[in-house]
Amino acid sequence: MGRRPLIHRSPMPGLGLSMGITLTMLSIVVLLPIGALLLRGAVFGLDGIWDTVNRERVWKALFLSFRLSLFAAVFNLVFGVLLAWVLVRYRFPGRRLLDAAVDLPFALPTAVAGIALTALYAPNGVFGALAKEVGWKIAYSQWGIFLALVFVGLPFVTRTVQPVVEEIEREVEEASATLGAGRLHTMAHVILPMLTPAALTGFALSLARAVGEYGSVIFIAGNIPLLTEIAPLLIVIRLEEFKYDEAAAIGIAMLAISFAMLLAINLIQIWSRRRIGHV
Amino acid sequence: MSDISPPHFRAATEEPPLARWALIGIAALGLAVLVFAPLIVVFAEALAKGWLAAVKSLGNRDALSAIRLTLTIAAIAVPLNAAFGIAAAWFITKFDFRGKAFLITLIDLPFSVSPVVAGLCIVLMFGANSWMGGWLVANGYPIVFALPGIALATMFVTFPFVARELIPVMIEQGRAEEEAALTLGASGWRIFRTVTLPNIRWALLYGVLLCNARAMGEFGAVAVVSGKIRGQTATMPITIEMMYNEYLSVAAFSLAAVLTALALITLLLKALLEHRHAGDLAAARRH
């Protein structure tokens, strides 16, 4: 048995052209710039990166980004599954409008979302004034960041879970009911397990998106160092101070977090395929 | 056929009406607060001082140059990414080679990189203090704080959109039609134009639509590379930020309303495509 060739011979035309365009553009736009970041980090050295990240302002920003992203993703997980269920299973006036609205966070520029949410939830905004009555400060606090991250991550879980809900066979639910299970029991033990893999994929996507989010957050956050300053903002600040090494160090730390999550997404998908057999 | 079920019969696979309406209520309330309210507030704030003030603020020199720049950037980034998407999808689906899964992962990479980090990467690669950037600046071709850098940053964050839509569709359609055309003696370009393109055109349009929406609205990556020079490197989202920070609320929200209208049109076209050409997009949707 010989080694598998790198590229199988094929009569199909356009190999050189399509491969050339693909690899050239991928390199110029994505790979070389990321390489430049990693190179900068390598020259700066692990010690330099560690010294940068190991400062209170930096690790607090990283921790804040990660923690609030996690909370937002958990919220989106629950709300997203509920939304997917409601949109697929129920018929009610305005359903299509709600369905279309789920995609808005994908289409609306983040800066627009940022100033709109701030206008609503600032102390003089419509919702902000209501919250102020009960002593709840939303904009310019961590609640505001949470809200913005919920907004940008909203569509992921719904859009990954919806097709799975559509494919659930009613027979499974009928069987469960025939065997004497109440609706709540069927939900918890039959339906939710089927939705779990897709929901977790959506959760991870929403989390990854939130960790790197910048535009919608900086307007509503207040950006107070140690309290409401997110990691991407700190990179921008370091760049404005021409501290490229430190910016690169924080960027590499964020990349590491993102890759860990990408890995998690892949592991979840492998696990879900083994467990469910399809999806 | 007569209905034999009793009047208030509830199927065992349905929730009680009360639970159903409670869930619908939560869904509607959540979307009202999170999505519809911000949407309304953009237009309300833009029109806070009347139509005239809103329209006048859009005629402002900075606003006009921002609109022009954003259109220019989209006109560069979107066709290039569409060309990349077509080439990558052709390469990946028409040929067998080792490392295909890895290549797809690399193409998807920009989706898991923070836009700010993407901008940072472009600065470190092409900035004046990198060797390549230094050489380019010395020869009169600055990349960062200029149009090419903004275009590159925009391309980075929107890189996977078209490829992601096309690859699943082209995998599902297989190679048989192209192979048949090949045996009949059609040239490569002709096969693409007359066989492949008609099969993928709706998926292509779908990808271009999403790519364009993101390209025109990109903020984080562009904020890092643009340098925010008024009238020169300030795109629409950047100009919105500058106006907002200068307490020019009507101007900021008027420009934001233009982008919001664009987002709504994008969603409308997207819904239309999903409705009319569900079959042609199905493969991508299942992903």
The string of pLDDT tens digits covering residues B90-100 is 999 999 999 99
Residue A84 pLDDT: 96
Instruction: Assess contact for A212 and B116: CB atoms under 8 A.
Output: yes
Please say if the pLDDT value at position A1 is more than 60. no
Report which of residues A276 and B15 the model is more confident about: B15
**Alpha helices, DSSP H, located in chain A:** 15-25, 32-53, 56-89, 95-101, 104-107, 110-121, 126-133, 142-167, 170-178, 183-186, 192-212, 215-221, 231-240, 244-276
Residue A269 pLDDT: 67
Query: pLDDT tier at B283 (50, 70, 90 boundaries)?
Result: low
Q: Which of A208-212, B79-83, B131-135 has the highest mean pLDDT?
A: B79-83
SS3 content of chain B, % helix, strand, coil (to 5): 75, 0, 20
Please say if the pLDDT value at position B18 is more than 70. yes
Instruction: Assess contact for B95 and A12: CB atoms under 8 A.
Output: yes
The overall average pLDDT reported for chain A is 90
Lowest mean per-residue pLDDT among A152-156, B49-53, B277-281 = B277-281
Between helix A126-133 and helix A110-121 the angle, nearest 10°, is 40
Please give, rounded to a whole number of angstroms, the shortest distance from the CA of B223 to a CA of chain A.
8
Question: What residues of A are in contact with residue B123 (Cβ under 8 Å)?
Answer: 239, 244
Share of chain B above pLDDT 90, in %: 76
Shortest CB distance from B124 goes to which of A40, A101, A119?
A40
CATH entry, B60-285, from 3.40.1480.10, 1.10.3720.10, 3.30.360.10, 3.40.50.720 = 1.10.3720.10
Looking at residues A224-250, what average pLDDT do you find?
94
Report which of residues B275 and B123 the model is more confident about: B123
Residue A279 pLDDT: 40
**pLDDT, tens digit (0-9, with 9 covering 90-100), for B183-204:** 999 999 999 999 999 999 999 9
Question: What residues of A are in contact with residue B107 (Cβ under 8 Å)?
Answer: 26, 30
Please say if the pLDDT value at position B10 is more than 70. no
CB contact under 8 A, A255 and B110: no
Please say if the pLDDT value at position B142 is more than 60. yes
Q: Which residue of B has its CA nearest to A172?
A: B13
d(CA A270, CA A200): 12
| DSSP at B112 | G
Please say if the pLDDT value at position B21 is more than 80. yes
CB contact under 8 A, B91 and A18: yes
Query: pLDDT tier at B1 (50, 70, 90 boundaries)?
Result: very low
CB contact under 8 A, A109 and B217: yes
Please give, rounded to a whole number of angstroms, the shortest distance from the CA of B1 to a CA of chain A.
23
CB contact under 8 A, A33 and B124: yes
Residue B48 pLDDT: 93
The domain ranges of chain A are 36-276
Residue B81 pLDDT: 97
Question: What residues of A are in contact with residue B109 (Cβ under 8 Å)?
Answer: 30, 34
CATH fold of A36-276: MetI-like fold (1.10.3720)
The overall average pLDDT reported for chain B is 91
Question: What residues of B are in contact with residue A208 (Cβ under 8 Å)?
Answer: 111-112
Residue A3 pLDDT: 66
Residue A278 pLDDT: 47
State the sign of the Cα–Cα–Cα–Cα dihedral B139, B73, B159, A156.
positive
The interface predicted TM-score (ipTM) is 0.90
Share of chain B above pLDDT 70, in %: 94
Helix (H, G, I), strand (E, B) or coil at B79: helix
d(CA A85, CA A278): 20
Shortest CB distance from B220 goes to which of A107, A215, A247?
A215
Buried b (16+ CB within 10 A) or exposed e, A248-261: bbbbbbbbebbeeb
Q: Contacts from B24-28 at CB under 8 Å and sequence distance 24+? A: B24/A86, B24/A90, B24/A92, B26/A82, B27/A82, B27/A83, B27/A86, B27/A87, B27/A98, B28/A94, B28/A98
Looking at residues A173-190, what average pLDDT do you find?
85
Helix (H, G, I), strand (E, B) or coil at B3: coil
Please give, rounded to a whole number of angstroms, the shortest distance from the CA of A257 to a CA of chain B.
10
**pLDDT, tens digit (0-9, with 9 covering 90-100), for A30-89:** 999 999 999 999 999 999 999 999 999 999 999 999 999 999 999 999 999 999 999 999
Question: What residues of A are in contact with residue B98 (Cβ under 8 Å)?
Answer: 4-7
Looking at residues A10-17, what average pLDDT do you find?
90
Residue B227 pLDDT: 87
| DSSP at A230 | -
Shortest CB distance from B24 goes to which of A92, A103, A248?
A92
